[in-house]
Amino acid sequence: MKARVSLILALLCGLAWAGEIESCASRCNEKFNHDATCQCDCQRPWYWDCCDNYQHPCTVQEDPKEPKPFLEPEEEMEEEMEEALASTLYSAPDSCRGRCHKSFDKHHPCHCDARCPEFGNCCEDFEGQCGHEGFSHSSDAITTDELKAISEKIYRADTNKAQKEDIILNSQNAISPSETGDRVDHCPEPLFTYVNEELFSKPTYAAFINLLNNYQRATGHGEHFSAQQLAEQDTFLTEVMKTAVMKELYSFLHHQNRYSTEQEFVNDLKNMWFGLYSRGNEEGDSSGFEHVFSGEIKKGKVTGFHNWIRFYMQEKEGLVDYYSHIYDGPWESYPDVLAMQFNWDGYYKEVGSAFIGSSPEFEFALYSLCFIARPGKTCQLSLGGYPLAIQTYTWDKSTYGNGKKYIATAYVVSSTR
């Protein structure tokens, strides 16, 4: 009997690969396979080639006696949000079965209308249930090939990035992923030996740096911006929109029918990145920008903090102690990618990925691209011919506009194979 079941599963997997179906159905716990279009052995967040539906079919089949896979703080946050959603007083459908084309209803936890991919609030089975009706393959859908092409254009357009001589990096000791929870300082010296601070006088760098001190890092304390601080947000958006990087991004999204005007695009960027929501007990204590670029402290841990400029400046002030890294990207020039462990003024970051040497507009563009095109999913890109992916999460407890989601987090993930 077991032999027959194994044969049937093998045949099903073979059919899936032959048809290039990007699914983990019947493939959970399968070892890495070079012939498959995507993988299902994703026990670490650094694998860029996982199937899009890995999390649902595989995690529900987990043996409860097995240890849970390592979760980044951002993923722990997602668990908290899901628990909060499950505790709501109503019980609404969480499937698109029989709901394709149904109009938006704010009382439902997920949706099945034509615009749910845009807002990142589709039910998990949306494509399976509604894809045949043209939703998931509409003229507005952004393909992975298109994402890789535009990310290469953005990569080439980043003329404000650091040159090789602008940064001397001392990455020192690498550790295995299993050692990240040990909290041992394996690197006695700072990460940055030298940074050419003339970079910081460039308009986008200067505007970006002005934003970093506008936040209280502890969640649970509401943010209250002065008129000057609000103006600094507008200045940053104005300056980045002058760059070739953001012009490439807007042109691409305009061509994809996501935005009709540049002003509409800028307004949406301001809302999704700078709009306030509550991660703690205080209304309006966090935002996507604060979390991703400036960093936060929640429940005694560092969350977010994915920016090299912020890291360098805090390290220079003696507030960041670099411990080690588990991933150093293959790029021989900047921007590069480093996944590292560090202590931020008494609080530990178990795994924090960051671009190194990129301009502020470059990171802002790629994170925005992935949040718009693949909200809440892994977004596969290409930089200088190398594969790279960005993971985003949507904030599901509050919305802006007509049900649009704020950015909860965005960070780089990459293959360790």
Question: Mean pLDDT throughout 180-203?
Answer: 96
Backbone angles phi, psi at 105, to 5 degrees: -130, 115
pLDDT tops 60 at residue 200 = yes
Both tokens of 319, joined, read: 């507030």
pLDDT in tens, 266-287: 999 999 999 999 998 778 999 9
> How far is 369 from 175, CA to CA, in rounded Å?
31
Q: What is the pLDDT of residue 28?
A: 66
Catalytic residues: 291, 306, 349
Q: Beta partners for 169?
A: 192
Q: What is the pLDDT of residue 117?
A: 76
Residue 354 Ramachandran class (φ > 0 left, ψ -120 to 50 alpha, else beta): beta
Listed by start position, the domains of the chain span 1-71, 72-140, 144-413
Question: Mean pLDDT throughout 249-268?
Answer: 97
pLDDT tops 70 at residue 5 = no
Residue 168 — pLDDT band, cuts 50, 70, 90?
Answer: very high
Q: What is the pLDDT of residue 282?
A: 73
User: Per the omega criterion (within 30 degrees of 0), is the bond before 335 cis?
Assistant: yes
Query: The whole model's pTM is what?
Result: 0.72
> How far is 324 from 339, CA to CA, in rounded Å?
9
Residue 36 — pLDDT band, cuts 50, 70, 90?
Answer: low
C-alpha 236 chain-centroid distance: 21
pLDDT in tens, 84-109: 333 322 234 677 777 776 777 777 88
Q: What is the pLDDT of residue 30?
A: 61
> How far is 302 from 70, CA to CA, in rounded Å?
16
pLDDT in tens, 315-340: 999 999 999 999 999 999 999 999 99
Which of 5-9, 119-123, 357-361 is least confident?
5-9
> How far is 315 from 192, CA to CA, in rounded Å?
8
Secondary structure (3-state) at 156:
helix
**Cβ-Cβ contacts under 8 Å for 326 (sequence gap 6 or more):** 46, 174, 175, 176, 177, 180, 339, 340, 341, 351, 416
> How far is 248 from 112, CA to CA, in rounded Å?
31
For residues 338 and 171, the answer to whether their CB atoms sit within 8 Å is: yes
Residues in the chain: 417
Residue 220 — pLDDT band, cuts 50, 70, 90?
Answer: confident
Which of 35-39, 62-66, 135-139 is least confident?
62-66
- Cα angle 368, 369, 373; round to 5: 120
Nearest CA among 405, 403, 374, 406 for reference residue 390? 374
What are the distances in angstroms from CA 187 to CA 148, 175, 317? 35, 11, 18
CA atoms within 13 A on the CB side of 284: 7
Higher pLDDT, 410 or 62: 410
Write b or e for each residue in 220-249: b if 16 or more Cβ atoms lie within 10 A of its Cβ, otherwise e.
Answer: eeebeeeeeeeebbebbbebbbebebbbbb
> How far is 252 from 254, CA to CA, in rounded Å?
5
Both tokens of 228, joined, read: 């000057």
For residues 313 and 293, the answer to whether their CB atoms sit within 8 Å is: no
pLDDT tops 70 at residue 301 = yes
Q: What is the pLDDT of residue 68?
A: 33
pLDDT tops 70 at residue 347 = yes
Tracing tokens 């490439």 back to the chain, one arrives at: 248
For residues 322 and 342, the answer to whether their CB atoms sit within 8 Å is: yes
Question: Mean pLDDT throughout 300-305?
Answer: 95
> How far is 222 from 244, CA to CA, in rounded Å?
35
